A and B are shown apart, each in its own frame.
Chain A
Amino acid sequence: MEAPTLMEKRRAVITGIGVISPIGNDYDTFCRSLETGVTGIDVIRSFDASCFPTRIAAEVKEFDPLKFVAKKKSLKLMGKNIQFAIAAAKLAVDHSGIRLDTMDPTSVGVIMGASIVNSNLFELAEAIRHSVDENGVFSLKKFGSEGKNHIFPLSLLRHLPNMVSCHISIAHNCQGINNTITTACAAGVQAMGEAFRCISRGDAEAILCGASDSRIDPLGMISYSLLGAVSTRNDDPKHASRPFDAKRDGFVVGEGSIVFVLENLAHARKRGATIYAEIVGYGSAGDSFRVTDPHKEGRGSIQSMRAALRDARLATTDIDYVAAHGTSTDLNDKMETRALKEVFGEGAAKIPASSIKSAIGHLGAACGAASAAAATMAVHRGILPPTLNYEFPDPDCDLDYVPNVARKADVHTALVNSFGFGGQNASLVVRRYTEQ
């Protein structure tokens, strides 16, 4: 591959989308659910959460991993996050019609956002139970001699975040660039942003990019509760995620994977691919999250939005829709609203900004990839997904959040925001594909 000069950057287009989500296990179903206001949030069913402070989540439903792996045996090495990713990657490849087997495998890469993978509580509990000494106290000596026998020998491999990308690369023989971004909620957008850069500069012809996350398990739910940011509206799960609404009380944990086939435009055109959208800008920034220091809130978000717009060489007036981070926590939604006003000025009130977390919950590392799928729907199908459960206006959140009902709109360009826990921020600009 000849590296292009700076003057002739190649264009990166989305030609396939694979979705495993709480509201549908393919892109079409996902879009239809968003359009019709389906919510994927319910009481937790994958384990008994009755004694947890938060007993609701947005779980993936009716998912059969066996449909997506060549060998059943390989599932032993895959936690749910990897299984979802393998499935979403296959769906994306099928959706795009790309024939990876006819391409130079070293020109195809994988860049995924991933999170840390929680220990399996029940496996660890079993190991710990066999590691107590005569006084009933946990002993590392005993763990080293006995408890260890209760740990799956290859368990470490389930817990390395890069295994998401590695399994995808093995499944599709992608021998090119391979990376795993681990910036919490910003990871999905960063993975897509970096894939966009790779295609632009000629490092790859096609990249499977996106993110996967699944932390709806006992230790994951306790961790989230400790962060103090999850909704406890346990008796009313369908209305628990209410971004920008005055009565919001935290986010709802979701899970899933979204994978895109991002392709060099020339390659996509040559094979006559359907082009769903083009990625034209990306920006990122870190800042520190301090509840005690409201002046600094939003600085990183503002920077990442501005960097993405600058990268796309677009003005704020070019943006027709914002796929907001909108977590449904008090702080995020206020801060994001303020940041949008800072970036868009008076124009902010006129730009629809909705949060699909109202329907699918917060997919952690994968949330930004899900928002990018929603933004793709907006530019390709002309439909804005709504912010569900918007009932009570909050004076601090006074933008057009596309309340409750999907809206038809002529969206040319959309901005996707992902602002992570602890100050990791990224934004992406997605545009409807036109030849010029």
Chain B
Amino acid sequence: MFEKKFLEDLKNRKADWDRQAEKLRATKSRPKFITVSGEEIKELYTPEDIAGLDYEQKIGWPGVYPYTRGVHHTMYRSRYWTMRQFSGMGTPRQTNERYHYLLKNGQTGLSVAFDLPTLMGYDSDHTRSLGEVGKCGVAVDSLADMEIIFDGINLGEVSTSMTINAPASVLLAMYLGVAEKQGVPFNKLRGTLQNDILKEYIAQKEWIYPPEPSIRLITDMMAFCTEHVPQWNTISISGYHIREAGSTAAQELAFTLADGFCYIEAAIKDGQDVDAFAPRLSFFFNAHQDFFEEIAKYRAARRIFARRMKEKYKAKQERSWLLRFHTQTAGCSLTAQQPENNIMRTAFEGLSAVLGGTQSLHTNSMDETLALPSEKAVLIALRTQQIIAHETGVTNTIDPLAGSYFVEALTDKMEADAEAYLDEIEKRGGVLKGIEDGYFQREIANAAYRYQREIERKERIIVGINDYIMDDEKIDIPILKIDETVEKDQCAFVKKVRAGRDNDKVKRTLEELVTAAKGKGNTLAAMLECVRVYATEGEICDALKPVFGEYVEPPII
């Protein structure tokens, strides 16, 4: 990138500077200069650090292979990222009210948070659901609940993301059911399903069936959507939870990409054309506190993905090479102490996602280490994004940090570290083998422990946790409480639904689903028939358990 002569002169001048700086190095503001991931950072980056970098090959142009600078030619000058707050709590009606509130205040997409029973495929009145109904998100048992959640919201006009994995097909089927009731054709529907089961085994741990049948459900869905729901992003391959579980940035990047390639290989093996499904794969990353490390991660992610899609999987369409991603700021970076400080943390994290070229963003609310967000907290979080978009000026130009000696060197390092992990995973026999052996789980747990020890040794200062502590602190923000009546109401509602439907039809459609699952039928198409007659989520998931089996994780510590 630089003339040889220039670099030689630079070396000499750097040596001069180095001699002068040496005298001052005895004084240190902190014991170690490391990223959140524990990576050592140099005191200074210069043209030497990017001397070998070929602009066209490594950095290039926005919207042009290898997309280091972004997936669109014009990025935020044409359209801001989608401001999408992950949200859901209590009953479907309460959640519907929250959605109307967010849309009224300028949110541009919906993102549904389901409660744990829904995520695990249990109805609200199942014994396992006791105490969990409506707590971490909204409770959904049948199409009747989804009709309420989207009441007064035209599914042809909004894009909806649903964080659901093991029972993702069931919830997509219900969403399709609502669209039918609203008279919106499937090809008008826009949105994303998380549907990333591999990271469940690795990090988030909400599974039902073992990996192989779970991947079958996913490839069925991909095939169904290619034909009927062409604008729907079928999988959001997620690093977010891997990072929240304690991984480093490079692990998040590598494990997520490895999962993505595993789905791609499964669909190719299923006989699907890579260019038919790849354009609808999307990614989901974490935005942690280390500003530049995160930006480097997003830039490296695009480059690695584009290269593999083109060279390894032989995708021919440019749209298949694009790594598009959603970002959520790091829940694990927030503190329960002095929770108002979380507003600042989230703002910096959101800014890194924007500088990294995200397609959509969720900014956490300040109270999320204490409870689900209050209306006040979620509004500040949304306003944070609007301030980044409209006031900071960072959206005036595309990829403004490109060419920074530090950012380019860090992007290269991130790419190399992730590639090394990808090689290691391959050497160990691939993603499924790694899950089975507990490789990912152990790597993440070790990183989490190292991070905790750094905090306890004060090698890493977290404001309000191990320094700047306020004695006798009183929490002075409103805290949302999910009323215990939610569980009772929801249990009564699902019982009413079961009593009021045609149970012969339910039985027949469930049997047809089992037949499809045992054979080669499309399971999503069969589930659509089940939800239309108000079969519940628990009934549908249970019907498949004898066919697919259930997953049990060996305890790994």
Is chain B a partner of chain A in the same complex?
A: no
Residues on B lying within 8 angstroms of A by beta carbon are: none
